[in-house]
């Protein structure tokens, strides 16, 4: 069975690489990152800020099908993104995976990525790709407002994320501003509404919001009735519901929709380092996790994130992406440095 799967994957890699080459008019040798029909082998190191269980499942199946050994170096978005920038061309990383796009954009702006193979990009819809073409979306998550119906009625829910700046919301909502998740949401607000509006919103948030550390902690506080509502990503709620539900049983989720900043869908990213010692295997790994097999692992796993491939539907428990009416944002424009500056000025970091 493993040999059959391996042959199928190697055939697919050769096919998509050939498509990537023949779809371009440039000479074959001028296409950076092209894998041709080369067979992936050896080992790669992945700097991983994605969910460890998900990436381990990707790595295990990729190894089973190709024989390539995958070593994961786990950390959070900001930690690993800044480390890669510091390491520069001396980095031993082959692939970088993130939970949110600002950290991978930081590495991209430092010029450390090789272009993603064209055939890999063809597997991912344009809204989940940066305009640079040097990394790609691998998963997605939606912003939501988790609330306790015993403390707030449906007709009182905020129509927009911006409504939470109103003094009427003072002490009635929570967030975890120190984490990369919330900073990505603020980064989307900055791109959609500009610096002045974002600075004003953060100043109002400083007055209104109750600060917790971690999205799960925010959800637990809402569930326990400590606070009426909080801004989190959707998958925390679904993951708890799939388990005991003890930290979400008294909560519901409100989706902002209407292309509001609060409807922002954050893109998890993946890219191959230009200095990779094994670019063939690194590109093949990125092709695998964005392809049907890798996205099926995402769908059936316990992370409850959205697949980015059109070839794979989301977990049926999730609200379909097409119903979220999320704003369209070029992930490469999400600015982690400016956001951290603004959040520091507001007193959150």
DSSP class per residue in 144-209? EEEE-TTTS-GGGS-SSGGGGGSGGGTTSEEE-TTSHHHHHHHHHHHHHH-HHHHHHHHHHHHHHE
Tens of pLDDT along the chain (349 residues)? 333 344 344 444 443 433 343 333 333 333 333 344 489 999 999 999 999 999 999 999 999 999 999 999 999 999 999 999 999 999 999 999 999 999 999 999 999 999 999 999 999 999 999 999 999 999 999 999 999 999 999 999 999 999 999 999 999 999 999 999 999 999 999 999 999 999 999 999 999 999 999 999 999 999 999 999 999 999 999 999 999 999 999 999 999 999 999 999 999 999 999 999 999 999 999 999 999 999 999 999 999 999 999 999 999 999 999 999 999 999 988 877 899 999 999 999 9
Reading the block at residue 238, the tokens are 């679904």
- In contact, 297 and 54? CB cutoff 8 Å: yes
Reading the block at residue 259, the tokens are 């292309």
Question: Torsion over CA of 231, 233, 49 and 114, rounded to 10 degrees?
Answer: -110
Reading the block at residue 60, the tokens are 């295990």
Q: Around Cβ 107, how many Cβ atoms within 10 Å? A: 26
pLDDT of residue 172: 98
pLDDT of residue 24: 38
Nearest Cα residue to 123 out of 304, 324, 327, 288:
288
- What's the pTM value of the predicted model, to 2 decimals? 0.87
Q: For 269, which DSSP code?
A: E
Nearest Cα residue to 267 out of 179, 178, 176, 188:
188
Place of tokens 């609200």: 319
Place of tokens 């920038």: 85
Nearest Cα residue to 265 out of 297, 301, 312, 233:
233
- In contact, 48 and 55? CB cutoff 8 Å: yes
Q: Is 4 left (phi over 0), alpha (psi -120 to 50) or beta?
A: alpha
In angstroms, rounded to a whole number, what is the distance separating the alpha carbons of residues 104 and 129?
12
Q: Which residues of 156-184 are buried (b: 16+ CB within 10 A; e: fewer)?
A: eebeebbbbbeeebeebbbbbbbbbbbbb
User: Which residues in the chain belong to E strands, given as ranges?
Assistant: 43-48, 69-74, 95-97, 136-147, 173-175, 209-211, 229-233, 252-254, 265-272
pLDDT of residue 83: 97
In angstroms, rounded to a whole number, what is the distance separating the alpha carbons of residues 63 and 259?
40
In angstroms, rounded to a whole number, what is the distance separating the alpha carbons of residues 219 and 197?
27
């Amino acid at each position: 069975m493993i040999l059959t799967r391996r042959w199928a994957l190697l055939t697919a890699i050769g096919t998509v690489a050939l498509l990537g080459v023949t779809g371009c008019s440039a000479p074959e040798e001028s296409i950076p990152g092209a894998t041709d029909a080369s067979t992936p082998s050896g080992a790669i190191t992945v700097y991983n800020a994605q969910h460890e269980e998900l990436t381990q499942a990707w790595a295990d199946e990729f190894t089973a099908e190709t024989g390539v050994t995958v070593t994961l170096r786990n950390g959070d978005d900001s930690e690993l993104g800044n480390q890669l920038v510091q390491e520069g061309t001396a980095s031993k990383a082959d692939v970088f995976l993130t939970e949110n796009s600002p950290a991978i954009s930081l590495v991209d702006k430092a010029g450390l990525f090789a272009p993603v193979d064209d055939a890999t990009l063809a597997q991912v819809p344009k809204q989940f790709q940066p305009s640079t073409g040097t990394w790609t979306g691998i998963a997605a998550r939606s912003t939501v407002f988790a609330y306790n119906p015993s403390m707030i009625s449906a007709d009182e829910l905020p129509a927009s994320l911006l409504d939470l700046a109103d003094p009427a919301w003072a002490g009635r909502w929570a967030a975890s501003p120190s984490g990369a998740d919330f900073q990505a949401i603020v980064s989307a607000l900055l791109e959609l509404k500009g610096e002045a509006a974002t600075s004003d919103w953060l100043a109002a948030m400083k007055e209104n919001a109750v600060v917790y550390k971690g999205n799960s902690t925010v959800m637990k506080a809402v569930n326990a009735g400590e606070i009426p509502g909080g801004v989190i990503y959707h998958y925390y709620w679904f993951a708890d519901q799939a388990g005991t539900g003890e930290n979400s049983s008294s909560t519901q989720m409100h989706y902002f929709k209407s292309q509001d900043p609060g409807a922002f869908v954050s893109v998890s990213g993946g890219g191959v380092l230009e200095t990779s010692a094994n670019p063939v295997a690194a590109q093949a790994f990125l092709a695998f996790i964005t392809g049907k097999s890798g996205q099926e692992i995402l769908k059936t796993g316990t992370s409850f994130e959205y697949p980015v491939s059109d070839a794979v539907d989301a977990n049926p428990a999730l609200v379909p992406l097409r119903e979220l009416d999320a704003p369209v944002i070029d992930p490469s424009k999400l600015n982690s440095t400016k956001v951290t500056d603004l959040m520091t000025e507001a007193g959150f970091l």
